[in-house]
Amino acid sequence: MDGASEARPGLRLTISLDGLKCNPADPVVARSSAFSGPVRLSCQDGSCRATTSVSMTAKPRSHPVSVTIAGRTIARDKIRVGRSKRPSLELNQAEDVARPGAPVWVYFDDLYPGERGTHFTVRSSALPRPVRLTHDVADFNNPRTFQARPELKPGLADGTYTFEVLGPHGRHILNQRLTVRASRPGEPDYLGKAYGPDLYDPGVGYADSPHRHSLRVARGGKVEVMWHDMTPDPGEEMRLTATSPAFTHVVRLRSDDSKSADGDNPRFVNTATIRTDIKPGRYPVTVVAHHGRVKKVGHVIVTAR
């Protein structure tokens, strides 16, 4: 029996027998005090299968299972039924410690007598917004698992955050806590391998232009800003910006997935426009990454024309 090593009430399992020689017209039936009633197996080419569930009222003990053909017992087994478990929430992340901005798997196990709802939400100050949990139909054994994979807020302070599961009509079900901590010196993801900003003329192109941290640009002209980072913080690919008093606006750096980026470190790029109302001079171009731990500055030298 698949899934029966420690079966909880409500758990789904498969009963199977192979190598049977019987009249196809004879019923093959499994019986156990762990089941709600007799279970009819479907047979083809000597193999019989059935899917059933452990009764929600099954007592926590070892239950005998018998299989009969036309009333004649042909196989016996046992199923160990454990105690019912209260609804529970698991929070799993890729790293040992959850990082700000990182995705987190949320698993809600609602396999418990009397639980019937299908609309569940998780909310937390660590999340940008409440998250609807979806039924995990891929979990064969547990028919009442619900999950989601939201991203934590990127700017979270180190600390422990409460995740609350809400049922239909906002009914509180349970709380679970998750520790979030930004990476620290010595950890592989602390600073990544960031360098830049590289500044170049977009008319010339990155491949044919020297990779400089300083570039001459006329007022009203364009400048391409590029940033490299081997290990960005989780979600940082969507948050990187380049700022300068010489730019008309803050420039959001986008991930460069062009053909020219093949084989290069992960890189992020966008085009800035130089203001027309500023004096010629030398102005900083700043990129801040890794929650403020990495700050690098290039310069544009603005000319009248």
Residue 73 covered by a domain = yes
**Domain CATH code at residue 235:** 2.60.40.10
Range of the domain at 289: 194-303
Residue 185 covered by a domain = no
Domain final residue pick, 57, 80, 103: 80
pLDDT at residue 206, rounded to an integer: 65
Residue 186 covered by a domain = no
pLDDT at residue 266, rounded to an integer: 84
pLDDT at residue 122, rounded to an integer: 97
Domain final residue pick, 148, 180, 212: 180
pLDDT at residue 236, rounded to an integer: 81
Same domain, 212 and 287: yes
Residue 236 covered by a domain = yes
Q: Residues near 187 by Cβ (< 8 Å), separated by ≥ 6?
A: none
Rounded Cα distance, 248 and 264, in Å: 29
Same domain, 170 and 242: no
Residue 6 covered by a domain = no
**Domain CATH code at residue 105:** 2.60.40.1930
**Domain CATH code at residue 46:** 2.60.40
Domain final residue pick, 80, 114, 136: 80
pLDDT at residue 3, rounded to an integer: 46
Number of domains in the chain: 3
Residue 3 covered by a domain = no
Same domain, 248 and 152: no
Q: What SS3 string covers the chain? A: CECCCCECCCCEEEEEECCCCCCCCCCEEEEECCCCCCEECEEECCEEEEEEECCCCCCCCEEEEEEEECCEEEEEEEEEECCCCCCEEEEEECCCCECCCCEEEEEEECCCCCCCCCCEEEECCCCCCCEEEEECCCCCCCCCEEEECCECCCCCCCEEEEEEEECHHHCEEEEEEEEECCCCCCCCCCCCCEEEEEEECCCCCCCCCCCECEEEEECCCEEEEEEEECCCCCCHHHCCEEECCCECCCEECEECCCHHHCCCCCEEEEEEEECCCCCCEEEEEEEEECCCCEEEEEEEEEECC
pLDDT per residue as tens, the chain (305 positions): 554 457 899 999 999 988 877 777 788 999 999 999 999 998 888 888 999 999 999 999 999 999 999 888 999 999 999 999 999 999 986 566 888 888 899 999 999 988 888 899 999 999 999 999 999 988 889 999 999 999 999 888 999 999 999 998 889 999 999 999 988 888 877 777 888 999 998 887 665 566 678 999 999 999 999 999 988 887 787 889 999 999 999 999 998 877 555 556 788 999 999 999 999 999 999 999 987 888 999 999 999 98
